[in-house]
Amino acid sequence: MNHLFSNGAAVRPQRTSVRGATALSICLLALGVLLSALGARPASAQAVEPAATGQAKIDQALRAELDPAQVSTSFLVILDEQFDPSAVVQSAGAGPDAALERRRAIYAALTAQARASQAGLRAWLDAQGVDYSAHYLVNMIEV
């Protein structure tokens, strides 16, 4: 049986045999089982031994690279405490100067949090004579 389109073209529908559909279903099922078996394997990770100091958060490869005293490397220390602006945005007014008020409030909160949370690390870096650059948008220090 042919299907006719408005432009007069005829198309003969393709037949799918039951055997072909069953074989395709079995292949798809086998593929699904194989993929789920591969995804269900436990991840193999290297065990990290925590040290008595903050050394536990430093990757072993980075620690090995930084060991030689003559090597100078720049890196970022991203602090865990990050600012959430939603409370500041909600507390800002709705007047004509609301956008400027929100920006000022967010800037003040970002810089205050960065100063407070970076204080100990900055004092230690100063005592060690290490040059650094403090950032507030993302609470981090470039060392």
Tens of pLDDT, residues 25-63 = 666 666 665 555 555 555 545 554 544 556 667 788 877
Which parts of the chain have pLDDT scores under 50?
Answer: 44, 48, 50-51
| Res 31: pLDDT | 61
| Res 14: pLDDT | 54
The HSE-up count of residue 100 (CA atoms within 13 Å, CB side) is 3
| Res 140: pLDDT | 94
Average pLDDT, the chain: 74
Bridge partners, residue 10, by sequence: 4
Name the amino acid, one letter, at 41. Answer: R
Q: Residues 113, 66, 71, CA angle at the centre, nearest 5°? A: 110
